Amino acid sequence: MDVRSRNNVVVTGRPEGRAVVLAHGFGCDQNLWRLVVPRLARDFRVVLFDHVGAGRSDLSAWREERYAALDGYAEDVLEICAELDLHDAVLVGHSVSAMIAVLAVNREPARFAGLVLLTPSPRYIDDEDYRGGFSEADIEELLDSLESNYLGWSAAMAPVIMGNPDRPELGEELTNSFCRTDPAIARVFARATFLSDNRADLAAVAVPTLVVECRQDVIAPPEVGAYVHAAVGGSRLVTLDATGHCPQLSAPEATGAAIAEFAAELR
């Protein structure tokens, strides 16, 4: 199968610039990056794509056995990089794609110059002295609600995830994005997302890493950002003066600047 068609790969920006690969989160597609792309495209070659099952990806490529765990998505990212012959790239992962990016970088670190983890969470469920932000019962209730009424769940949860209640158009955009996803695919991706535990993978990251969190985020609270920063050796933590889990929409200027400045500093 053609990788570019499978993942609806779009390349823009400066052809001779360092590649910055943008990986979107659950229930989203590459359109969620549109407000930061102009800032990045001035200096970099920007690579956008849709995870299989999202956006304008080839839905016929979706297989539950491949995408029931985050490893399948990480393999796709590496296949995209190989198809485009990318080297010294910066891989940017938002939300669950932050851990997908960690898995990809750990498999082929020589291909990447740097890693940006935007509102990451290696585990959503609290565990002993680790605070992920949710109890096991919370996540089971969330998944049960999603599986029984995906459209209703999307309408209720997307505005909470987005935050910024004074800007309802942001929550509406995320709701619409969720609702465009096939419910059967969303259920599998949700379980892969919310039941994952990638804490052990963080210590293996061997490339320069920027952790970007928001001042207030119900999905990835500050304790999680601090944990990721401490677990990834030599990483840098930036806290945006922004709220919600999707700063590429709610604070695109600050998000784009953080990514661009980090990428520009890499050798």
The whole-angstrom separation of Cα 75 and Cα 78 is 5
Q: Domains in the chain, please, with CATH?
A: 3-265 (3.40.50.1820)
pLDDT at 267 over 90: no
Which listed residue (217, 229, 235, 250) is catalytic?
A: 217
195, HSE (Cβ side, Cα atoms, 13 Å): 14
Find, among 256, 233, 259, the residue nearest to 38 by Cα. Answer: 256
Considering 57, 95, 154, 235, which one is annotated as catalytic? 95
Helix (H, G, I), strand (E, B) or coil at 239: strand
Structure tokens at 43: 């200096």
pTM over 0.85: yes
- Rounded Cα distance between 218 and 214, Å, is 10
Model confidence over 136-173: pLDDT tens digits? 999 999 999 999 999 999 999 999 999 999 999 999 99
Catalytic residue status for 217: yes
Contact 199, 231 (CB under 8 A): yes
DSSP state of 84: T
Give the list of residues 6+ apart from residue 112 with CB closer than 8 angstroms, or none.
88, 89, 90, 91, 104, 105, 207
Torsion of CA 91, 96, 100, 101, to 10 degrees: 20
- 38-60 pLDDT, tens digit per residue, is 999 999 999 999 999 999 999 99
Mean pLDDT of 94-121: 98
Active site residue 87: no
Candidates 51, 94, 229, 245; catalytic one: 245
Q: What count of residues does the chain have?
A: 267
Q: Within 10 A of 234 (CB to CB), how many other CB atoms are there?
A: 9
